Amino acid sequence: MLPTVMKTVEMREPGKPDVLQVGQRDVPAPRANEVLVRVLAAGVNGPDLVQRRGHYPPPKGASDLLGLEVSGEIVALGDAVDSWAVGDRICALTNGGGYAEYVAIEASHCLPIPDGVSDIDAAGLCETYFTVWSNLFFRQTIAKGDLLLVHGGAGGIGSTAIQLGKALGMRVFTTCASAGDCEYAESLGAERAINYHDEDFVDVVRDAGGANMILDIIGGDYVARNIKAASPDARIVQLAFNAGSKVEINLMPVMLKRLVYTGSTLRSRPEGFKSDVAADLRARVWALFGRGQLAAQTHQIFPFEQAAQAHEVMEKATHRGKILLSPAP
């Protein structure tokens, strides 16, 4: 028998991490194409922080609760769902609502927990794997030996991109904030980790022949520097602008090098697109966990009651891998 109410993490108002507090709501009912999941853990991601500050409103019809990925157990099925069964353990991309004991999720956005990954650690997979895969590798031709430059290699996005690039046969270079972060990134498969306090990544990457693909979450002056570091016909993907989105650059090298500069946000993409990405991950990526080529990267797990502390750790950007929240005390 399912409960009628559940514990949640609520925002009193937009603001700093201390606006987060434990609350209570009715357990949602799954719609026809959804499954209801009892949450074991939820991932903390950059968009959660932006929404908490009041700058990333949820899409129409989505839960106003934070939380874009979870792991858990399916406890109820919508009338049209035949791809899952009650009792299945899954990890999933949500459209919000993950910071709760129960969440209703589009069934086609769920994936089985991969071999070799614990039920809790699986909560930190979907947001970063959907994001990195859809922007770098989905429907793209990747040549073995191509050089991938990943900025912020010690974080959730970075650690995922390094592992995927290595698994696909790419040479992976990355930028990090400390010697410890560089060591961590290299343990994940990076050929070269660059401490940006000590070295200029542009010089290092150009000496290696230039980057065929660049994944950037920094923005600011990195935009122009990425263009310098790129090889001809390279693809530059922008996923965030931690150092600012308003920049002045010379576009002539973009034309002369035939560069592709692109970016996206995942939450606003059509449901069908996310379903296609989920299917591609299941077909081409999920088995790599069982083979030891990929591994979940969990930095720390906080109970719901310490959601504010979890966001504080995320904002300091000194973590390695993913930060998770658990409804269990």
**Cβ atoms within 10 Å, residue 232:** 11
Which pLDDT score is estimated for 3? 96
Distances in Å between the alpha carbon of 127 and those of 22, 63, 96, 99, 312?
23, 17, 11, 14, 19
State how far the Cα of 67 lies from the Cα of 64, in Å rounded to an integer. 9
Asked whether residue 274 carries a pLDDT value surpassing 80, the answer given is: yes
pLDDT at 284: 97
H-run or E-run covering 215: strand 211-216
pLDDT band, residue 1 (cuts 50/70/90): confident
Stretch 153-166: mean pLDDT: 96
Residue 275, pLDDT score: 98
Angle, CA of 111, 113 and 118, to the nearest 5°: 155
Dist. CA 214–CA 229, nearest whole Å: 9
8 Å CB contact between 150 and 193: no
- 72 pLDDT higher than 80: yes
Of the pLDDT bands very low, low, confident and very high (cuts 50, 70, 90), residue 35 is very high
Q: Which amino acid is at 266?
A: L
**Mean of per-residue pLDDT scores for the chain:** 96
3-state secondary structure of 244: coil
How many C-beta neighbours within 10 Å does residue 294 have? 24
Residues in the chain: 329
Q: Are 86 and 77 in contact (CB under 8 A)?
A: yes
Note the pLDDT of residue 80. 98
CA distance 128 to 285: 13
Structure-token match 């390279």, residue found: 234
Residue listed under structure tokens 């790599």:
288
What does the pLDDT read at residue 268?
Answer: 87
Contacts of 83 (CB under 8 A, 6+ apart): 107, 108
Where residue 267 falls (left for φ over 0; alpha for ψ -120 to 50; beta otherwise) is: alpha
- Across residues 279-299, what is the average pLDDT? 98
Contact by Cβ (8 Å): 156, 184? no
CA distance 91 to 246: 36
* pLDDT single digits (tens) 134-150: 999 999 989 999 999 99
Q: pLDDT over 90 for what percent of the chain?
A: 95
Eight-state DSSP code of residue 124 = G
Question: Token pair for residue 219?
Answer: 């923005």
Q: Phi/psi at 138 (nearest 5 deg)?
A: -65, 120
Residue type (1 letter), 117: V
Averaged pLDDT, 159-188: 97
Q: How far apart are CA 129 and CA 188, in angstroms?
A: 15
Segment 318-328 mean pLDDT: 95
pLDDT, tens digit, 9 for 90 and up, residues 202-254 = 999 999 999 999 999 999 999 999 999 999 999 999 999 989 999 999 999 99
State both tokens at 251. 């576009």
What whole-number distance in Å separates Cα of residue 73 and Cα of residue 276?
A: 22
- In order, the DSSP letters of 131-164 are HHIIIIITT----TT-EEEEESTTSHHHHHHHHH
Q: Is the pLDDT of residue 170 over 80?
A: yes
Give the chain's domains with CATH numbers. 5-125+267-326 (3.90.180.10), 141-263 (3.40.50.720)
pLDDT beyond 80 at 329 = no
